[in-house]
Copies of this chain bind each other. A is one copy, B any other.
Amino acid sequence: MFKTRLLVSALALVGSMSVAYAWESLPTEAPAPSDNPTTAEKVSLGQMLYHDPRLSSTGTVSCSSCHNTMLGGEDNRPNSMGVNGQTGGRSAPTVWNSAFNKVQFWDGRAASLEEQAAGPVTNPIEMGMKSWDDVVARLKTIEGYQQAFEKAFGKDSISKETATKAIAAYERTLITPNSPYDNYVAGDKAALTAQQVRGMEKIGELGCTACHSGPAFNGPGMFQKFPVIPNAYFEAQYHFKKDKGLAEVSKNPADENLWKVPTLRNIALTAPYFHNGSVKTLDQAVMIMGQAQLGKELAKEEIADIVAFLNALTGEFPKQAMPALPGTPGKSFN
């Protein structure tokens, strides 16, 4: 997604960018912040917490309910369904490779995975817990968690800080390397079809990679405006501008309709598309990006080539063991 200024410079650079663009493959490990080094014990605890519906008021919604690790890291719904069937206005971003996002949430309001993990748990329409104090109190009643936190963080360590650190540590392992694209970049020229190579060249030529750059196709900038180019037809149909994005948080009119640049990794698996999940198919999303961001009406063949390439960004999902969540023998959790 482009700010107008970026759009202009990107378009001006089209010729040279398509040649010079350095295609990068996905790292197999994500860097951890110095105050939360990744350990096996934290990852194991984080995986349990991530999949535990008892982190919600009703005991029915876990992180994985909306960011499903058995699927493309989200729920394939326009918006997610939280406790008591409530829905919000935004589409769940994928958890896969979220370690490579520079900021978290669609509006980028969290600077880290740790900070992000704290949010949905106490959001009244998501997991609906009244407070993190309540979450901590509930976790403390579960002996298996007392033990798992002790292994990860030391004795009597259950807290909002440690719980979110564990979840973030787990999320840093949710990386999907070895996509056909990565294999191609690593030298296996047979990994992409001719059509996929055309699509790859096309997104370089068009300048899509000015925003969707880097190994996760989500950099270098944190925020971009979407849509850049006013389009009454799209607006009537998809209501893209209704949600003000970053401005909803900052209350700064300059931030209106600014969004975190979302990763293109596994994008084929994360329909429906855009911040409000209003667009059902990937080819429609590519068509819209062409018009709304580049001011270009892409040809049907161009769209097909780009979609073929985007399908080559579906990576290898790491095999995970199903976590066994610790019980509360003889009583229910609340």
Q: Taking beta carbons and an 8 Å cutoff, which residues of A are in contact with B? A: 51-54, 58-60, 65, 68-72, 75-78, 81, 83-86, 268-269, 271-272, 280-283, 307, 311, 314, 317, 319-325, 327-333
Contacts and interface: CB of A to CB of B under 8 A. Distances in A.
> Within the oligomer, what is the number of copies of this chain?
2
Nearest to A81: B60
A328 B271 contact: yes
Nearest to A320: B322
Given A59-B77, A322-B321, A327 B269 contact: yes
Given A53-B75, A70-B325, A75-B60, A307 B320 contact: no
Given A76-B332, A271-B328, 8 more contacts: A58-B77, A69-B322, A70-B323, A71-B327, A268-B329, A269-B329, A280-B332, A321-B321
A330 B281 contact: yes
A35 to B, nearest CB: 29
A143 to B, nearest CB: 12
Question: By CB atoms of chain B within 10 A, which of A60, A86, A314, A317 has the most?
Answer: A60
Nearest to A319: B321
Nearest to A86: B85
- Say what secondary structure dominates the interface of chain A: loop
Question: By CB atoms of chain B within 10 A, which of A282, A319, A331, A333 has the most?
Answer: A331
B329 A280 contact: no
A325 to B, nearest CB: 5
Nearest to A327: B269
Question: By CB atoms of chain B within 10 A, which of A69, A281, A330, A332 has the most?
Answer: A330
A141 B24 CA distance: 33
B60 A65 contact: yes
Given A53-B68, A69-B322, A323-B70, A271 B76 contact: no
Contacts of A280: 331-332
A59 B85 contact: no
A314 B144 CA distance: 14
Contacts of A76: 54, 59, 328, 332-333
A80 to B, nearest CB: 8
Contacts of A83: 85
Contact of A332 (B54, B85, B272, B332): B272
A68 to B, nearest CB: 7
Contacts of A85: 83-86
A272 B323 CA distance: 22
